[in-house]
Amino acid sequence: MNKNILTTWLVSYLSQLVGISEEMIDTSKELERYGLDSTAGAGLIGDLNEWLSIELDITTIYDYPSIDLLSDFLVEHFAVEA
């Protein structure tokens, strides 16, 4: 697993969730700009936990509010390859 795979997964996830094309998603922008509310954020964290077999706290989405920041955090703290 590397940062590119994480970023691609997160872009696809957000695209499907909010119903916009992947090309419209700027990975440096905060997820809430795309309509990601607390309920959807909790779902995202739960799906990441399941996919990566990790234990992220729900507040992670607020601490790392963009795809870029979240991917960087995962690579740095969960031994996901860069």
Q: Compute CA distances 77 → 8, 40, 59, 71, whole Å.
A: 19, 23, 15, 10
Please write the tens of the pLDDT for every residue from 7-39. 999 999 999 999 999 999 999 999 999 999 999
Please write the tens of the pLDDT for every residue from 64-77. 999 999 999 999 88
What CATH fold (topology level) applies to the domain 3-77?
1.10.1200
Q: What is the pTM of this model?
A: 0.91
DSSP 3: H
Query: What residue spans define the domains of the chain?
Result: 3-77
